């Protein structure tokens, strides 16, 4: 009798565990834009460690449940992060509006080509400027293989503030979303394509999805100073190992 009860208990426990693991259901969705039909890109469910492709008509299917975080990324549109609600998962066709790539965001990142304006009382923007080496600077051996580190250490915090100013002109944007965008733009601007393509072995259309995946980790917000460039690189290399393990689901 005791053995039967034990077996029954084990069976019930297994059913509960399996029920929890299989609580995600297929989410049928569509990405849309007012001006362009989006028919390519990636969608990742961070919590389920799975990603899928955006197909014809912007349609996609991915396993999900409420409170899961979805990352949307593609070459034609601005990356986006959404935390699913009960209502989202109950939709017959969950629609997500995506904005086209905004070149203005790239201008927020401080480049060495910025021109110096006449002096005034506000000196902050001079702090943000970057300058080429002069005759007194230590010579840089450009013939040696690049270590892919950041040559011009832009201040992340300043970028966050500038990006938020730009985005707030259109709508009220949450701080974490601004931070995600700032991280993506900063990392793309300050690491070479070879770092992503050769060192991390990422395809061009995977880079932004990978950076969104990195920015979703609170650890990324610790590397906001130019002095942390090596820590940032090490962080991205380790996150790439996780990224490569994420399963790709086929429609």
List of E strands, the chain: 25-32, 42-45, 50-53, 59-64, 69-73, 80-83, 94-97, 247-248
Q: pLDDT at position 208, please?
A: 92
Average pLDDT value for residue range 161-180: 63
pLDDT band for 198, please (50, 70, 90 cuts).
very high
Of 244, 190, 235, which Cα lies nearest the Cα of 217? 235
CB 161 within 8 A of CB 198: no
Higher pLDDT, 169 or 206: 206
pLDDT tens string 70-84:
999 998 898 899 999
Average pLDDT value for residue range 13-20: 46
pLDDT tens string 121-151:
455 554 555 545 555 555 555 554 455 544 4
CB 154 within 8 A of CB 110: yes
Judged against a pLDDT cut of 80, whether residue 166 lies above it is answered with no
Predicted TM-score of the model (pTM):
0.69
pLDDT tens string 17-69:
344 445 999 999 999 999 889 999 999 999 999 999 999 999 999 999 999 99
Domains, the chain, in order of start with CATH, read: 2-97 (2.60.40), 103-248 (no CATH)
Q: pLDDT at position 223, please?
A: 83
Task: Write down the H helix ranges in 72-130.
Answer: 86-90, 103-108, 124-128
Average pLDDT value for residue range 152-158: 55
Q: For the chain, first and last CA: distance in Å?
A: 48
Q: pLDDT at position 81, please?
A: 93
Average pLDDT for the chain: 76
């Amino acid at each position: 009798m005791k053995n039967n009860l034990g077996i029954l208990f084990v069976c019930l426990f297994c059913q509960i565990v399996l029920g929890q693991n299989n609580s995600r259901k297929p989410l049928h969705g569509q990405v849309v834009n007012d001006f362009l039909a989006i028919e390519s890109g990636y969608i990742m469910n961070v919590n389920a460690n799975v990603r899928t492709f955006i197909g014809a008509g912007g349609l996609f299917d991915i396993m999900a449940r409420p409170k899961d975080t979805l990352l949307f990324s593609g070459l034609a549109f601005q990356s986006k992060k959404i935390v699913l609600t009960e209502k989202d998962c109950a939709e017959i066709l969950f629609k997500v509006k995506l904005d086209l790539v905004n070149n203005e965001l790239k201008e927020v990142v401080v480049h060495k080509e910025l021109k110096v304006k006449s002096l005034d009382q506000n000196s902050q923007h001079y702090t943000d400027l970057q300058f080429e080496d002069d005759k007194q600077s230590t010579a840089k051996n450009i013939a040696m293989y690049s270590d892919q580190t950041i040559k011009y250490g832009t201040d992340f915090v300043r970028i966050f503030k500038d990006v938020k100013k730009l985005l707030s002109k259109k709508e009220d944007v949450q701080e974490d979303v601004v931070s995600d965008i700032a991280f993506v733009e900063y990392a793309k601007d300050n690491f070479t394509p070879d770092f992503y393509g050769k060192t991390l072995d990422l395809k061009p259309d995977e880079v932004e999805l990978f950076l969104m995946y990195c920015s979703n980790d609170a650890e990324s917000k610790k590397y906001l100073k130019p002095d942390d460039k090596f820590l940032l690189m090490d962080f991205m290399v380790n996150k790439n190992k996780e990224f490569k393990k994420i399963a790709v689901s086929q429609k």
